[in-house]
Amino acid sequence: MKLELRRINIKDIQFGEKTAVVKGVLTVNCEELSAALMTDKRIKAVKFDIARPGEKTRIIPVKDVIEPRVKIEGEGKGFPGVSCKVGQSGYGKVNILYGAAIVTVGDVVGFQEGVVDMWGEGAKWTPFSKTFNLVVDITPVEGLNPHQHEETIRIAGLKAADFIGEAGRNVEPDEVLTYEMGNIDEETAKYPELPKVLYVEMLISQGLLHDGYIYGVNSQLILPTLLHPNEELDGAVISGNCVAACDKITTYQHQNNSAILDLYAQHGKTINFLGVILTPELTTLEGKFRTCDYTAKLCKMLGADGVIVSEEGYGNPDSDLLMICKRLETAGIKTVLITDECSGRDGMSQPLADTVEEAVAVVSAGNVSHVVTLPTADKVIGNAEAISTLAGGWNGSLSEDGSLKCELNAVIGSTSEIGYHNCTVKLY
């Protein structure tokens, strides 16, 4: 499979008469975008705004972040199985509005969303303070049930990304990145002496506001599934997760999964990268045993010498993480875990809800309970009062002067468990 990711560097976003990219400036026609989104009769109203790096702007409550792209060659145009018909993603050519992002906001049934600050203390904790953000505020019609409400907002964000991505269809890229990998037999024949490494990516799969999607299929409904790395980089995996903002894997982060990119960079040099196993994180004990056993079986069948496992969320998914680790290490497969820690505001509590002695190589992405103070914004897109009901916020988080005090829990991407931001390494 060969995939070309063709980056068009975006230097600014503006509103104007025509949706287009000229000399790195993305111009958006709000009326046309609104009309495209309002074809979904479940949407009552949409509003748009722009947030640029360095501006004293706060976005809250954020549901998802998506990178606008357009497939100019190959199948799987858009988000296959979701915003377009199912097609084989992972090959062809994709034009990317690199540096731009679609950010969806608005109440999403429950309380679990997040905040993005474009400047100051908050900016250093989220990767999306560095992107030029087109913020899409979606109000659904009254009377939707919670699942319809969540789906309406999720699909609207993806449609907005597809619509904006079209502006880059005929624009020459500033940079072309090529990702090419044959089947496992072919790659092993090329690199017979290199250790074979798999990446196991755990996905929240726990019901309303707690799901990931693979080719449009809710991850609750699947067994652990092997993907070519290019498929995730090409839009096959999207987020429906609003569990805790700090470690949710946004759709943007799936499109640019840093664990995959780092493994790709070492493929053929220090490792033979075999592929990606997507593993659901279920809530039942029976489900956990089934998915963890199945994940270990796939790793053994494929002959992995080493496995990288990343988690999504914390709490009961910690058990899945450690169960997989124990099974792999017992089978003689070296295993590295990527997680974050819920170790209390003083950092002294047990960092994970579970532990096994086989977990000897652990990458920590930070403490979700760390408290930060975010200064007063000149402009708030959304509703600042939402901080009181966000995971990581509380009544009193919002001060009279407009500043916020909250845990990193509330900040989008602050402790990313795929390494898409700041990471530290500790051995336990």
**Which residues are identified as catalytic?**
242
Q: What is the spatial distance between Cα 363 and Cα 338, in angstroms, rounded to a whole number?
A: 5
Between the alpha carbon of residue 374 and those of residues 179, 221, 347, 386, the distances in Å are 39, 39, 20, 14
Helix (H, G, I), strand (E, B) or coil at 214: strand
Shortest CA distance to 100 belongs to which of 24, 45, 157? 24
Strands (E) located in 109-174: 114-117, 132-140
Residue with tokens 């089947």: 183
Q: Which of 119, 138, 2 is nearest to 62 (CA)?
A: 138
* Residue 23 CB neighbour total at 10 angstroms: 7
Q: Is 118 exposed, middle or buried (0-12, 13-18, 19+ CB in 10 A)?
A: buried
- Distance of alpha carbon 335 from alpha carbon 355, whole angstroms: 14
In the sheet that holds 175-180, the strands lie side by side as: 69-73, 92-98, 2-9, 175-180
Cross-strand pairs, 201: 278, 310
